[in-house]
Amino acid sequence: MVGPQPRRSQPRLPPKLVVAKVALTGGTGFLGSNIAEVLGTAGHDVLVLTRATPTMAVPWNYEVLDTSDSGAVASAIADCDALVHTAIANDFQNLDAETAYRAYPGLTQAVTSAAVTVGAKPIYISTDWVMDGSSHKVPESSYGRPVNTYGFLKALGEQVIRDLAPETGVICRIGGVMGRNRLVAELPRSQDVGFGYFVTAMVNALQAGETFLVFDGPGVNTVATPSLASEIGATIHRIIEREASGCFHVVADDALTRRELAEQACDVFGLDSSLLRSGPPPAEALFSEPVPIDTSLDNSRVKSELGVGKVNVKDCLSALAAEADGALHPVTALQ
């Protein structure tokens, strides 16, 4: 008589490693959705904090709450290791002074206070527009010198990080971010006098066979070190992984003009550069305040502290073009 046979165990796949639990404000927006996707791909447990129930499908856990309520945020992120603050008011030119303050440094203060309370690392997304635009490749040690309200509001947010989390806080300055919202198809706006949305707006126009006016002349940000949304997410992953702190310029290595960026994009995307035009923006696109001319940033600390290798603009454009397959492709591989 043959006794019972031992049951053969089934092979088990290793569980997905969750490196950290990371909360994000603005996680349904353009930059936030890219960061959330990259962090999730890297193994992090992502929690999106949103002020209203999303109108689109959101692939990450989310919690609806008043993000200006520090106590409510602290309760929501009690078990989080980091909080990435990406939320901004896009229409800041039309905000009154009190509303603008609440939406920028006020909100930054609320979420940073909550992060400090629960021991989560606050990571603040700032901008190259905190610079006055008169210097080339400004170092990460610079405090900046804003020339308009937007830059001033973002600089105030940076100071919140320095004041409330001097040892653990992170400031990530970005500029001319390339990419698309991962949750909705449309852009929040087309080309403006900054570098934001510039490449995607240009690609959309040229792929449709339309001409595209590359803004130039007075009142235009003409030189920058652009960023790629997915690469920003990869850098934030490294910041969390290495428990880094301080200021990082999360931008490409090379500075270039708008026209140079447009021509490189045409080369990478296989577009007809003869459809490009250069000239002053229409009156409705002009900024109501001074605009920094050269907002290029030096990213030496990203290299030395985070071990990030070469990230040139052409590689960023190639990674953006590769997103046609539906996935994100940061220039530097996630580890």
Could you report the average pLDDT of every consecutive run of 10 residues in the chain (335 residues)? 36 49 96 97 97 94 97 98 91 77 95 98 98 98 96 97 98 96 83 91 96 96 97 97 97 98 98 97 92 98 96 98 96 85
pLDDT digits (tens, 9 = 90+) for 132-150: 999 999 999 999 999 999 9
What are the residue boundaries of the structural domains of the chain, listed by start? 21-325
CA 306-41-123 angle, 5° bins? 45
47-50 contacts at long range (C-beta below 8 A, 24 or more positions apart): 47/21, 47/22, 47/23, 47/76, 47/77, 47/80, 48/23, 48/24, 49/23, 49/24, 49/25, 49/73, 49/76, 49/77, 49/111
The interaxial angle of helices 229-242 and 30-41, nearest 10 deg, is: 50
**What was the pLDDT predicted at 92?**
62
**Apex 283 CA angle, 94 and 206, nearest 5:** 100
Mean pLDDT computed over every residue of the chain: 92
Per-residue model confidence (pLDDT) at position 247: 98
What confidence score (pLDDT) does residue 10 get? 34
pLDDT, residue 187, reads 73
Amino acid at 228: L
Contacts with 144 (C-beta within 8 Å, 6 or more apart), sequence order: 130, 131, 132, 138, 151, 155, 158
The answer to whether residues 233 and 285 touch, using CB atoms and an 8 Å cutoff, is no
Residue 6: per-residue pLDDT: 35
Q: What is the pTM of this model?
A: 0.93
Q: Output DSSP code: residue 189.
A: S
- 21-325 has CATH 1.20.1440.80 classification: no
Between the CA atoms of 224, 227, 228 and 231, what dihedral angle is there, to the nearest 10 degrees?
150
Q: What is the pLDDT of residues 45-68, one digit of tens each?
A: 999 999 999 999 999 999 999 999
For 181, the token pair is 């919202």
